[in-house]
Amino acid sequence: MAMDHRGTTVLITGASSGLGAQFAHRLAARGADLILVARRAERLAELAETIRTQAGVAVAVYADDLAVPRAGRRLAERIEADGLRVDTLVNNAGMGTHGTFATQDPDAVAAEVQLNVAGVVDLTRALLPQMLSSGRGALVNIASTSAYQPTPDMAVYGAGKAFVLSFTEAIAYETRRSSLKVLAVSPGPMRTEFFDKLGTTRPGVGHWQTADDVAEFTIRTLDRRHTPASVISGALNAVPIAAARFAPRPLVLALTGRAVGA
């Protein structure tokens, strides 16, 4: 039976483009009201107006930079002050840095850790109690196929996504007796603005996917009666990762390094 999103409110971070925008369109089509969060106010406003017109749902927008310390907590407070409650949280916002770690911009690395790791923890902690109380939604954290092995030239990104995967699986176990669905989704590389900003076209770990494919896969996974704690999007991504679990770790590292050109 499909998960019923009607009458619920879904908060999506990184919602202005790519995977976040696809989640917004698909969940609105399922009847969910939306809270869209991203840095680009104009893009958010355009997306919100399109969705209101097409789906007839309520859409609130918050132009916020979650790469700032404690931004998630402050965002949750603003949402509560505006009289909104969150049933489902999709932690989709993320960024990456590329190149050998010793040469990367320290400020960019700090922002990456804040957005991809600390920001996910901060916003999840702020909203999880009300989501558990609601019992009608889900916590969806976007990890990556990079979470399953070290990723040379994207060392911080891969390590951060490994954190997100482990963090989400632990919360899924802690909340297993509730009706909240908790899911970590690990897509392969997607053809979105992420890789444009990263400055590389090499997928590294995993096979290319579209944001539309990943959004559809995620929502179908939530429709399952027994939603797993974590999934890998795409069979071409899942098979090699499963095989790598039985390979010696030095071999996996060497193959990954070669794949990314490190």
- The pLDDT confidence band at residue 59, using thresholds 50, 70 and 90, is very high
Q: Can you give the pLDDT at residue 234?
A: 77
Q: How many CB atoms lie within 10 A of CB 170?
A: 12
pLDDT of 193 strictly over 70: no
Q: Report pLDDT digits (tens) over 219-250.
A: 999 999 999 999 999 777 776 777 667 667 77
Residue in 62, 148, 157, 173 annotated catalytic? 157
- The pLDDT confidence band at residue 9, using thresholds 50, 70 and 90, is very high
Q: Can you give the pLDDT at residue 255?
A: 66
Give the least confident one: 46-60, 126-140, 175-189, 191-205: 191-205
Domain 9-260 bears CATH identifier 3.40.50.10470: no
Label the pairing between strands 181-186 and 230-232.
Answer: parallel
The answer to whether 157 is a known catalytic residue is yes
**What is the SS3 assignment for 254?**
helix
- The pLDDT confidence band at residue 194, using thresholds 50, 70 and 90, is low
Give the phi and the psi of residue 209 in degrees, each rounded to 5: -135, 165
Delimit the domains of the chain by residue range: 9-260
Q: Report pLDDT digits (tens) over 136-164.
A: 999 999 999 989 988 899 999 999 999 99
Among residues 79, 63, 89, 73, the alpha carbon closest in space to that of 10 is found at 89
Among residues 120, 237, 228, the alpha carbon closest in space to that of 189 is found at 237
